Structure 1
Amino acid sequence: MHFNISKVLDHRKDISNFVDHRKDISTEKEALADLLASSGDHFPGSDFHPADRKTWMSELGPDRLRINQIVWPGTHDSATNDIGVPLVTRPFAECQTRSIYDQLVLGTRVLDVRVEKGRHICHGILQSYSVDVVLDGVKRFLSEAESEIVILEIRTEYGHEDPPEFDKYLVEQLGDLLIHHDDAVFGKTVAEVLPKRIICVWKPRNSPAPAAGSPLWSAGYLRDNWIDTDLPKTKFDSNMKHLGEQPPSAARKYFYRVEHTVTPKPENPVVKMVDNEIRPFARLFIAQTFAQGFADRLQVFSTDFIDEDFVDACAGMTQARVEGQGIS
């Protein structure tokens, strides 16, 4: 039998690199844990818990709550709850386990939805149900919660083609619920935009972007600074740096998103396992925006596998803004 020493050495190198990388992840998670232990995760509004997360915006008062005061709890890859084959491909693509409707009932208010040419949900090469399932879930929720506002971002997934005439389809499906593009919306109260309920941001890859003043909003109105890393403190610090470079939310005419997520890698591919390295530190991130003087800039805060505590943290910071507790 021929013995290939180069393949053996390459294999040992791969194992060594994997071990070193796992050490880096562990070191970064420990650094976040140390920061949490030394500085805590208390912030104005952190003790607030909505009486009903389904209607938490209503609870804060539609006549008082301005669009640019809201800290919007969002989900990343929102419609991946039924993607792939269970126990086979799903662990590598599923970023949420709840349906769109259930996420909204939980308190989510920003949805990140990826589509392909045939109007199916997708994440990379994997496809799932029709986008109609998403739109039906949104409409069902809004029929039950009359003073809640939702930001619905729909984009064509990387590597896919735009669905034909998808802008017209969205307008037909969402109709009178759509809050048409208008820069003045940011300074309005929730009550002033009702009964319209959805800010729909359509991000095609090649089709024309929505025009100013149209029923849909273009890509520039929901911005972020995503970096490709599975290192939790690297992502945490990058999010803080980019947030610090933004104007205060009350002074800008676009939504800015911080994605409290990390990215799976070939050697670390299971989404939930990777995200568990950063998910426990969401409240720490909010607390650090106060410590570093950026609390007036946090606006859309998104996560994988959203839970009640994440929603409460965002709603609590929003409540503090409404009450004037140290934040504009």
Structure 2
Amino acid sequence: MGSQVSKQVERRNSIRAEKKVLFEMKQSNGSEFPGSDYHPSDRKNWMLSLNPDKVQINQIVWPGTHDSATNKIGFPFVTRPFAQCQSLSIYQQLVTGTRVLDIRVQEDRRVCHGVLLAYSVDVVIEDVKKFLLETQSEVIILEMRTEFGHDEPPDFDKYLEVQLGEYLIPQDDQVFGKKISELLPKRVFCVWKPRKSPQPKAGGLLWNSGYLKDNWVDTDLPSTKFESNMKYLVEQQQVTARKFFYRVENTVTPQADNLILCVKRVTDRIRPYARLFISQCFSRGVADRLQIFSTDFIDEDFVDACAGLTKARAEGNA
């Protein structure tokens, strides 16, 4: 018992020290970067407002959500706090400005996070299609993957093609250098990541796992995650030379050996430092490698930061 208490005290001290590191870095270095003062007047159409004829796909800094479809995961006040990573519905996230969705599914086409379940993936698809019908130039990346420990739904690739076919951007390395307007009316990069079934084939309507990469660091320590994100970003090519999407996630994750297991309380250790991360990318000379930037519990300020940097890139200021 005494060793467990000692361990928890040590963990709390580590967390407190790491939060202090990020706070002091923000105090001393600030969080400004090219485009940081930009705030879209219409976040639902922020890509349109930047002019689709001028913005290239590889210039976009894509605001994304981690475990996107968990707003109604599990049971309220019982299991939900341990798995909920977003409070908004998929449609609300898209209207807020989210442009990358991370959807985990299991055998029966229900969205899940570990062993906890949410709604049918049909709800996700309907929200996506509703948003697409209400907009004209907004492009999204829809990542669908089989949750760890599960099998994929039967014929799920065919399901995605039938449901989203008219919007799907076919797999093609050339699109990264194209402008948004050159892809329209196609507006969805659908990345399908099955665990056991064959990956989508080259040239098809779905993109395989090789086109959306990241380096997930499983920690609840905010400065550790911040610096790990930076370390892996340094190892990437510039976005203009890249033929795939690379994601950095401004999140930290509850750990089983820590008494604090609610996602919101844990991830709030790093959420206030999204703009600091972008600013540090410039300070450390790797801003030209930042592409997808994802978060838990996305908000308007996070979207504005990504949209602002996208605007600065499109105007040649970053």
Q: Which runs of structure 2 are paired with 1:89-128 in the superposition (5 Å)?
A: 89-128=79-118
Matched with 1:241 is 231
Alpha-carbon distance in structure 2 between the residues aligned to 1:180 and 1:200: 9
Alpha-carbon distance in structure 1 between the residues aligned to 2:217 and 2:137: 34
Matched with 1:323 is 315
Matched with 1:49 is 39
Q: Which runs of structure 2 are paired with 1:50-69 in the superposition (5 Å)?
A: 50-69=40-59
Which segment is superposed worse, 266-275 or 210-219? 266-275
Alpha-carbon distance in structure 2 between the residues aligned to 1:275 and 1:108: 18
Quick one: which of 243, 263, 280 aligns to 1:288? 280
Alpha-carbon distance in structure 1 between the residues aligned to 2:96 and 2:107: 30
CA deviation string 1:170-206 (max 9, x = no partner): 0000011000000001000000000001000000000
Q: How many residues end up aligned between the 2 structures? A: 316
Matched with 1:36 is 26
Shift of 1:265: 1.1
Q: Which runs of structure 2 are paired with 1:178-327 in the superposition (5 Å)?
A: 178-266=168-256, 267=258, 268-325=260-317, 327=318
CA deviation string 1:260-309 (max 9, x = no partner): 10111122210000011000000000000000000100000000000000
The gaps in structure 2 that reach 5 residues or longer are: none
CA deviation string 1:137-186 (max 9, x = no partner): 00000101110000000000000111111000100000110000000010
TM-score with structure 2 setting the length: 0.99
Alpha-carbon distance in structure 2 between the residues aligned to 1:95 and 1:219: 22
Stretches (4+) displaced over 4 A: none
Matched with 2:163 is 173
The gaps in structure 1 that reach 5 residues or longer are: 1-10
1:145 and 2:145 correspond: no
TM-score with structure 1 setting the length: 0.96
Alpha-carbon distance in structure 2 between the residues aligned to 1:70 and 1:272: 28
Percentage of identical aligned residues: 63
Alpha-carbon distance in structure 1 between the residues aligned to 2:192 and 2:30: 38
Alpha-carbon distance in structure 2 between the residues aligned to 1:135 and 1:150: 13
Secondary structure of the residue aligned to 1:63 is coil
Secondary structure of the residue aligned to 1:121 is strand
Alpha-carbon distance in structure 2 between the residues aligned to 1:27 and 1:289: 22
Alpha-carbon distance in structure 1 between the residues aligned to 2:77 and 2:252: 21
Shift of 1:128: 1.0
Alpha-carbon distance in structure 2 between the residues aligned to 1:145 and 1:244: 35
Q: CA RMSD in A?
A: 0.5
Alpha-carbon distance in structure 2 between the residues aligned to 1:22 and 1:149: 41
Secondary structure of the residue aligned to 2:104 is strand
Output the amino acid matched with 1:230.
D
Output the amino acid matched with 1:37.
Q
Alpha-carbon distance in structure 2 between the residues aligned to 1:168 and 1:141: 22
Alpha-carbon distance in structure 1 between the residues aligned to 2:5 and 2:188: 49
Shift of 1:236: 0.1
Secondary structure of the residue aligned to 1:27 is helix
Larger radius of gyration: 1
